[in-house]
Structure 1
Amino acid sequence: MNERAMRVLTPKVLVALSSLSIWCSSLSIAQEASQVSIGDSVSQGQYPAFTWDRIPLYMHIRKAKAYTEEEIKFLARFPLITFEKANGHEDHGSVEAGTLIAARAVKKINPKATLLYYRNVIVHYGGYEANKRLEDIPGAMLHDDRGNTKLVRNRVSAYDLSNSQLRNWWLDSCKIMTADASIDGIFIDGNIKALEPGYLRRQIGANKKKQTMDGYHLLMQQTRGAIGPNKLMVGNILRARFNNAGLEYLNYFDGSYLEGFFHNVGGISYEAYVAKGIDAFQKAARQGKIIAFTTGFNTPKNTSDLGIDESHARISSDEAARKALVFPLAIFLICAEEHSYFRIHEGYSADKDSRWMRWLPAYDRPLGPPKGPATRDGFRYWREFQHATVQLDIQKRTASIQWQDSETDK
């Protein structure tokens, strides 16, 4: 429609045309969804190595430059690793190239390590080779009524998941990377932002938000077909803020990463929020899902939009780190099942120092398998392992781990 014709349209007609456009977009997504068969959401891919001998650990890391030989050897100690955004792009030209070089180096030392490639489902990050192809996709980014696309934290763009070309581009970028033998699956981030009804709704409007949510569900269904049945899909999806703590969305994935575990939102009390998270963790783990439980040593106030993103704080010393470890580790042990993994950290970046390589004494203690599931009385929990007894009180925010050698961490 030309500009002259647009000028003579009444506001009511413009509203009608806008509604028609939204209806057509929703119909297109619905038609695409009807052609997708998700089938069994669990892949046939190889799950990470697992043992109860010691605390099963997870690594989630990014580094703009190449990893050193010492860092690669350290990474190779972990059974499950996510190479986050920005890996190696300054030295190798792109995130894809940097990730593959690091992944192949780790695999050379530890072929059994399970390595995940990071993609955010809604936030557009730089440094990816795939980003060059976005220039050919009209309307790839969400925008407000002034045309501004820097909607995430007022500085980063967000994908319009209702755009089928954008979804195809995203799928292709995952398919290309997971085709490499060194990549065992994909880590999908941004799910909370995509699914939280209030996130970006003020900027883009309720109708567009609904369209992007519909597009998200279709994209998750299509991802399994894109990467194939032999690759893993792990999502950042379990979160107590949802009605069913994210379990309602877990069928898309082989497992879930957990963060923001202690940042209660929605008016619920801290202890009720954490208890809900514990319950979701236990249910998902007992279903055989991979669980990557991560937390900071400290839990500073969450100041992100709608309390979605997790904040991190530095820890002053190794001794302070040992003390701060006990409470989140106790929660992990109360919940863990086979293919549950633990990570405590001060942030995801390896750019500035080697603090991310801190190895705590508890990691070398014999643990042994659990003697059964945890027991609960109100907000108190107990669980026994072959070499340790765990007690937890989330209302008092206290915990203890009694190791078989009689030493107790509190």
Structure 2
Amino acid sequence: MTELFVTVEPGEGYVPEPGCHTGGVGSMTSSFVLAPAALSELGTRPFGVYVHVPFCATRCGYCDFNTYTAGELGTAASPASWFDGLRRELDLAVTTLGDPPPADTVFVGGGTPSLLGADGLARVLDAVRDTFGLASDVEVTTESNPESTSPEFFAGLREAGYTRVSLGMQSTAPHVLRVLDRVHTPGRPTQAAAEARAAGFEHVNLDLIYGTPGERTADLRASVEAVLEAGVDHVSAYALIVEEGTALARRVRKGEIPAPDDDVLAADYELIDSMLTDAGLRWYEVSNWAASPDARCRHNLGYWRGGDWWGAGPGAHSHVGGVRWWNVKHPARYAAVLADGKLPVAGQEELTDSERYLERVMLELRLAEGLPLDVLDDDGLREAKRAVEDGLLDRDAAARGHAVLTDRGRLLADAVVRRLVT
């Protein structure tokens, strides 16, 4: 069986959480303070702001993100109370960080940010601009559900200052979308991509999910062909993982549908990579392809390269200088804590040197540029040489001082990471 490292995250705005949550779990941090050591290099690394919008019209069966439908929330929370809390959190964030740099990138994820409409998303960006400020070349991305977009929506985003749009497509096959509980019509994502480009967006991403039970090779090929016909400059493709606690996991457990097959996932990944590469989109991270360096998602690159970011919103995660913390999850609790003048921090951890080493290897090895070999300890260097001999790391890149996954290495990247850090 092939062991895949290409994990599913059904949206671009994934905040990597490779470490264990050990500090502060189970109790709210009412007076959150970052030590001077964590703040000492703030501004020397990329700095981003992630905003989590927790609202969805319906719940997809595979999704374990922190999202809520209107029926689940009732009167406990609303977009208005969420935005009031967001603005308070951003104000407190600036105070907590002291003199933070302007945001190099802003990513609005969810959930379904497009449910806020163009005016609501403009208010979100204005709140970030008014508190942190924006770099002159800032990249601003929002995720959007194709069904809650329109030409007017995209025009409003451009006017507000957004520079990228990421659209959830997943598949063009109706039976695959039904298994995933996706409610958009199969042709709507590519139509939305065309509308975004017509509105002036140079950078548009489409998400794919592969390995869904019942998906045939012909289905996947048709989905990739549709993506290419849409003319987008960025594609994210994720292998389906059955997450505990989801409707999909319950269906698999009951035997209603089979679990994804690792060998099928590997073949699917190779097909996607081949088709995208032939069309001029190059992988720059194991699950992401771009038509040019400018088309790469700078916000996510900040995660993978060990940058700093403030994650605002219910359940959002943040990282500054080796300290990671995460917010309370429920939107009502989030708003209530902020109304009391406190940051809604649910827990935090300070990474040890060994944890930071592990995370650097795990995250940078995902990138096409690879990991500098001089980062590795002696044992890691010996294993890197063996991985080159085994065809998992590129020989020419190793000669230049970098550990870069080969095509086969991308399929076995988890195993390569374990070899390098053991």
Range of TM-score over shorter length: 0.3 to 0.5
TM-score of the two chains, using structure 1 as the length reference: 0.37
TM-score of the two chains, using structure 2 as the length reference: 0.37
Which of 1 and 2 has higher RCO (CA within 8 Å, sep 6+)?
A: 2
Which protein is bigger by CA-based radius of gyration? 1
